[in-house]
Structure 1
Amino acid sequence: MIAEHKGEIPVVILLLPFIGGIATGLYWPGVDMLALAITAAVLFSIFVFLNLGYSKFSVYKSKWIGGMLIYPILFLAGWLISIHHNQLRRADHFSKQQAQFLVVCINSEPVVKGEWTRFTAEVSSTISNNKVRNSSGTLLIAIKDELARNLFYGEQLLVPAKYTIIDPPFNPGEFNYKQYLAHKNVYHQAYLFPKHYKITGSGFGNGLIAAALNSRQQLVKKLYSNMHDTTAIAVASTLILGYKADLSNDVMQAYSKTGTIHILSVSGGHVAILYVVLAWALSFLNGHKKGKIIRVVVIILLIWLYALLTGLSPAVCRAALMISFLIVGKTAGRYVNPLNVLACSAFALLLYDPFLITDVGFQLSYLAVAGLIIFEPIINQFASSKNRVADYLWKATSVSTAAQAITFPLSAFYFHQLPVYFLISNLIIMIPVTVIMYSGLLLLMLPQIPVVSNLLGLILEKSILIMNKLLGFIEHLPYASISKIWLTNTEHLLLYLIIVTFFYLLYNRRRKWLLAAALFATLLFSISISIKKINSDSTQSITFLNLKKHSGIVFKNGNNGVVLTDITDTDKVFKYSIQPGLDSNRITNYIICGFDKNLQNEYLLKRGGLVQFRNKRLMILNHKPPAWSIPSTLRLDYIYIRENASVDLRSLITKQVIVDASNSDRYISVLTANQVNYQSLKRNKSIIINSNR
């Protein structure tokens, strides 16, 4: 549904400058809030004054004045809210206070991964020399202790004030975890061990959230008691309750590659099914005098309780807000434009937390719904059938295509892949997902009745296993997904421009200038991709990686490469810190070689610790002395030191000494004391050296 005039979608138009202000506040948070507030107040006062004297001053003759004022007011409001939400700007933030201990309250559900228990905690006060000061801020805490597995939301802890700033990405293509957490107002982290913390109380969190988390745990236990397959239980917990702690990476990968990852996020579809169940269950109220109002209130209340139960993710909050607005509007007999409802829900969520604008789930959820509202009718008009089954399948196809078309650029930008068989996958899982949701909701809503609960559990489990097998089959089909897609910000925006203009041309073919715009955007996109490929194929470089306790060097020769490292490609560190760099640099053919191995190909020769890469010569030194003595006349371009190598560097002729992160702080301080000129990778970004010349 494309609006013919902006008057049909006023909330959408007003939302845009507000979002622009929030984005500005995210990238320029250091602006004086007082100056912004005064400017916004002056503009708002003028706006109110003109509205009060609308007739007296003949403002109706110059309607543009209202727009000229309201847009900057909303922009400044978004900017102010964004800056105010930034906890680092607060004077009482714990990082701005000298302290020996912190009093913190766990404000998220602790997640156990391996030996570590992780959670975020709100700092309420700092303690220094037995003096307590009120404080604020959020701290990410990881505890390596068996007893920490029993921690829960709302518990208060006393922890030492030994925390560090969260590290930025050190290597090419690496996920920016620092920025991700900053957008959640988390800037510091602490690692604790047994006896490093003390529980000082409980019940300090929000009582409603605590009750919801406790209820969710009880419902997860109910799934475990009525189902047997752990994978099916994990999928059911995620799909119905939003509980992802037990979900494996392999299952996530299968859903991602087939374009069905959206069903593992509790969102609009889940809320819609819940609404259908509740509307049917409460239909008996329609016969009473005030039954309709009671029915609406109960449905909205239960939908929000479900949203709370599933963790209040941006997607489920958007769905709950939209369906609440639509139910109220329908009950009142008013026509409600779905785009306005969508914009109203975005306004409400961003007022509560402006940083949600950076959340991938928030972006995908709103784009998908916008695509369904705007693009789906355009696609659906191209075919129709009197056969109910064929017509239903076509509508399902148009829905899936519209959602995928609008979210594809964002998915490619963040996740670097495109599922090829998304239409087949989404059509195939329609029936299993419907059965899963209805049987799962009935199982959890009904009391435990052995025969009924076991039967519902069996139906739920078998439906999930069948769905997993179908998706597993599609995942392993040839060309199931196009991976290693790395878009720049400009390419990302160009792709959206191409898609939007293409769909508008399908809607209105008379706008010929749009065709020229679409073709020009496509040309720019193609040129950008081609230039990247040409540059990548002709580049030779050496990248010294920062892998903390491990070591790694990547030699790039066009789209070929050699990775020297002490870890395997199945290691988590390789997948997190090395693989993204290989993919983003278009190194499609690479060899992994250990530091103790020899290697020879057309562009690289390695013998022991000596490496010749095209016109560059590198010596790798570690704690083990080389089998041969190092001639003092040997000319080297680089010396790479790992594992606290014992060697007299003054006797070697080299341009640059590189010390990797596997060396101790004490060893690096000795190098400094001996006046060795070096570059350290420890807590620093990787060093990239172009070897073309």
Structure 2
Amino acid sequence: MTLSFVLLLIVTITYFINRNQFKQSIWFGLATYFMVMSLGNLSVEVHNHLNYDKHYTHQYSISEAKFSKFQLRILEVIKPNIFNQRYIAEIVTINGKSVFGDILLNIGKDSSFSNLEVDDKIQIFGGLQELYRPLNPHQFDYQRYLENHQIYAQIYSKAEFVSVLSREKHSIYGYADYFRQAINKGLQKYKYSASELAVINALLLGQRQDIDKELYADYVNAGAIHILAISGLHIGIILFLLKWLFKPLMLIKHGRYITAFVILWILWSYAVVAGLSPSILRAVTMFSVITIGMYLKRPYNIYNTLAISAFILLIWNPMILFEIGFQLSYLAVIGIVAIHPLLFARLKTPYAFPNKIITLITVSLAAQLGIFPLSIFYFHQFPGLFLLTNVVVIPFLGFILGYGLLIFGMALMDVPKSLLTDIFGDIISLMNQFFKWIAEQDVFIFRDIPMNWFLVIGLYLIILLFTRYFISKAFNKLVLAMVVTCVFQIGLFFNQFWYSNNNEFVVFHKSRHSIISKNSRFHLQVFHNLDSLKLKSDYSIANYRVGNFIKTIDYQSIQNAYHFNQKQFLIIDSLGVYKNISFKPDYIILSQSPKINLNRLIDSLNPQVIIADGSNYKSYINRWHETCKTRKRLFHYTGEKGAFILKEN
């Protein structure tokens, strides 16, 4: 903090020294750079909950998971899974002792238990548990995702151990949730289907937890998922509607200031009601700066506006930088601002209507170029029909949003069901059917595209340098872009060489089943005991294939023995047969809960390591672990340590 204050003082002094000088020095820029870096570091330290002694991680041993009494306050309702209702909650007390910090709360589904809402204060008995880390290679790291949101533990409990102490609303998030609930209660009398209501909530309120997997996948595969995430597109349309609606205020005295204030108040109120997600925060902050400049007659530069909004958000919450939505939303806007004018200038016609279609196409292309490398890195797929999706739907999105806000007003005023409300439901249903049809065109959906950080950075450098060339048409910029492209191609060769030497033997974790693989020079042999349906729905092999740039896969049934890297593997399954083995295995893989005496097995075969996969009973695992501990043998259970991986020397 002292360093930041000193740097701020230096920046102030150098500013007043340099502002009247004809020839500027570098000191103001350097001081500003170091001040911003210092502020960023200070913001991270201040916002890191682990730096405070009253955080629950300093008051409670999570590894011991002692049964305790907790008082919690519900912060957010998130998407439930098959077995549990799930919430983000803040710990208020543990056994009467005041603490703070956020956790993931899982409550077993019970028809007699009413779902909790934001700001509900509850008492619950249970124990804090560690977050589940990824158990298979290249699996989504949900633990890291939660820790980026300052969540370091979870509680599993049954409804019978939960008692509600208070349902009083006292925070802005609680009132926002109450407002959303009131809208939904009003919408229920309009008899919308579950899918229609889920899309309405996502489209206009930013709440996607009620969308089922199939419908969500349709929007993803159609390249229309941005429609369900309130972002710059939605806020821009709402700003346009508000500007038209409040145009009469410009006729009165100080109308510009009143209009700007009213619009800013409405935008930020809407952001709060919609949940303040990273994309909403970015969009509302950016359009707030634009609104101020527009109504106060101040010039603004879109790049400066983006930088200011990002700076404000990162000071408010530096961990938002790691949000996928934050990254993609800024890159999409930068792509539109930088690339769209270049594309439109080369495609525009003398006619207004074709130019509107061309604008939709060029904006969509520019946004896709802005997010393409990073979206492939995160999602490993590309919707080939995104242009058709955007050209058909986006022209009507403003009408749909305006119509939806009108329906919300009618729902809040308890206006009865009518033709007007039915038409809106039909529009949403038609949109869902359209995206479902687009998603069914599998030939245009490119899945399982491998990508790593080297490729992401290289592609962005190429896009940036070619964009700079087309802006200035300078020969030296073209040379630089071509040189970087050549270096990127050389890098691709080394990337291939690196992964071609990534040969390994993997025992995956799969509950109640066994999956083993051998990776050798872009070819993967998979040995498993899954049926065809479960094999198709299993992501462990798909994630591994994409993460290791695998080109071909061969599926086979599980064998009894394997040889890899001059090491012998023996699988002992439910039959428990291991006698009359003609070799001495280095590794034993226990599968399907074999009824064996592990002491006798160790005496007979003398393996170096015992591996137990996810197909074994937990009681067997505990017994085997104790035996290995006594016999001083390495024991690897995939359900605790993750997949067992042996790399080639």
Q: 1:522 aligned to 2:482?
A: no
Q: Is the 8 A contact 2:69 2:123 kept in 1?
A: yes
Q: In structure 1, give the amino acid aligned to 2:55.
A: H
What secondary structure is seen at the aligned counterpart in 2 of 1:103? strand
Deviations along 1:99-157, one digit per CA (max 9) or x if unpaired, are: 84332211112543333011111122332xxxx43212111111114155521111222
What secondary structure is seen at the aligned counterpart in 2 of 1:102? strand
Q: Is the 8 A contact 1:110 1:152 kept in 2?
A: no
Quote how far apart the aligned CAs of 1:499 are.
0.4
Alpha-carbon distance in structure 2 between the residues aligned to 1:380 and 1:439 = 30
Q: Is the 8 A contact 2:18 2:28 kept in 1?
A: no
Deviations along 1:616-643, one digit per CA (max 9) or x if unpaired, are: 64322234333xx621543324310134
Q: 5+ unaligned residues in a row in structure 1: which ranges?
A: 1-36, 594-598, 600-605
Which residue pairs with 2:543 in the alignment? 580
2:331 to 354, 360, 367: 367
Which residue pairs with 1:638 in the alignment? 587
Matches within 5 A, 1:414-493: 414-446=378-410, 453-477=417-441, 479-493=443-457
2:346 to 358, 361, 382: 382
From the superposition, tell whether residues 47 and 343 of structure 1 become closer, same or farther in structure 2 (CA, over 3 Å): closer
Alpha-carbon distance in structure 2 between the residues aligned to 1:270 and 1:382 = 28
Q: Is the 8 A contact 1:419 1:480 kept in 2?
A: yes
Q: In structure 2, give the amino acid aligned to 1:81.
A: S
Matches within 5 A, 1:102-141: 102-127=70-95, 132-141=96-105
Deviations along 1:286-333, one digit per CA (max 9) or x if unpaired, are: 333344433332222222221111111121222222222222222222
Deviations along 1:376-427, one digit per CA (max 9) or x if unpaired, are: 1121111221222111111111111111111111101111122222222211
Q: Give the superposed CA RMSD.
A: 3.0
Q: 1:334 aligned to 2:298?
A: yes
Which residue pairs with 1:171 in the alignment? 136
From the superposition, tell whether residues 52 and 319 of structure 1 become closer, same or farther in structure 2 (CA, over 3 Å): closer
Alpha-carbon distance in structure 1 between the residues aligned to 2:174 and 2:572 = 54
Q: 5+ unaligned residues in a row in structure 2: which ranges?
A: 62-67
Q: Is the 8 A contact 1:50 1:59 kept in 2?
A: no
Deviations along 1:467-511, one digit per CA (max 9) or x if unpaired, are: 33333333333641222223222221111000011111111111x
From the superposition, tell whether residues 666 and 200 of structure 1 become closer, same or farther in structure 2 (CA, over 3 Å): farther
Q: Is the 8 A contact 1:562 1:590 kept in 2?
A: yes
From the superposition, tell whether residues 681 and 448 of structure 1 become closer, same or farther in structure 2 (CA, over 3 Å): closer
Which residue pairs with 1:16 in the alignment? none
Quote how far apart the aligned CAs of 1:82 are.
1.0
Deviations along 1:574-609, one digit per CA (max 9) or x if unpaired, are: 64434211332244544555xxxxx4xxxxxx55x4
Which residue pairs with 1:43 in the alignment? 7
Alpha-carbon distance in structure 2 between the residues aligned to 1:534 and 1:545 = 25
Q: In structure 2, give the amino acid aligned to 1:442.
A: L
Q: Which segment drifts farther, 171-180 or 281-290?
A: 281-290
2:54 to 67, 79, 92: 92
Q: Which segment drifts farther, 666-675 or 582-591?
A: 582-591
Which residue pairs with 1:182 in the alignment? 147
Q: In structure 1, give the amino acid aligned to 2:251.
A: G
Q: Is the 8 A contact 1:47 1:66 kept in 2?
A: yes
From the superposition, tell whether residues 331 and 451 of structure 1 become closer, same or farther in structure 2 (CA, over 3 Å): closer
What secondary structure is seen at the aligned counterpart in 1 of 2:174? helix
**Normalising to structure 2: TM-score of the pair?**
0.89
Q: In structure 2, give the amino acid aligned to 1:630.
A: K
Identity %: 25
What secondary structure is seen at the aligned counterpart in 2 of 1:333? coil
Alpha-carbon distance in structure 1 between the residues aligned to 2:16 and 2:129 = 54
From the superposition, tell whether residues 349 and 50 of structure 1 become closer, same or farther in structure 2 (CA, over 3 Å): closer
Which residue pairs with 1:554 in the alignment? 517
Q: In structure 1, give the amino acid aligned to 2:43.
A: I
Alpha-carbon distance in structure 1 between the residues aligned to 2:106 and 2:592 = 27
Q: 1:69 aligned to 2:31?
A: yes
Q: Is the 8 A contact 2:517 2:525 kept in 1?
A: yes
Q: Is the 8 A contact 2:364 2:390 kept in 1?
A: yes
Q: Which segment drifts farther, 357-366 or 229-238?
A: 229-238
Number of residue pairs aligned between Structure 1 and Structure 2: 634
Which residue pairs with 2:119 in the alignment? 154
Q: Is the 8 A contact 1:384 1:394 kept in 2?
A: yes
Matches within 5 A, 1:292-331: 292-331=256-295
Alpha-carbon distance in structure 1 between the residues aligned to 2:503 and 2:342 = 47
Alpha-carbon distance in structure 2 between the residues aligned to 1:450 and 1:85 = 43
What secondary structure is seen at the aligned counterpart in 1 of 2:281? helix
Which residue pairs with 1:218 in the alignment? 182
Which residue pairs with 2:626 in the alignment? 669
From the superposition, tell whether residues 402 and 453 of structure 1 become closer, same or farther in structure 2 (CA, over 3 Å): farther
Q: Is the 8 A contact 1:239 1:263 kept in 2?
A: yes
Which residue pairs with 2:244 in the alignment? 280
Which residue pairs with 1:508 in the alignment? 472
Q: Is the 8 A contact 1:110 1:119 kept in 2?
A: yes
Alpha-carbon distance in structure 1 between the residues aligned to 2:509 and 2:627 = 20
1:679 to 630, 633, 636: 636
Q: Which segment drifts farther, 340-349 or 656-665?
A: 656-665
Matches within 5 A, 1:619-634: 619-626=570-577, 630-631=579-580, 633-634=582-583
Quote how far apart the aligned CAs of 1:284 are.
3.6
From the superposition, tell whether residues 369 and 224 of structure 1 become closer, same or farther in structure 2 (CA, over 3 Å): same
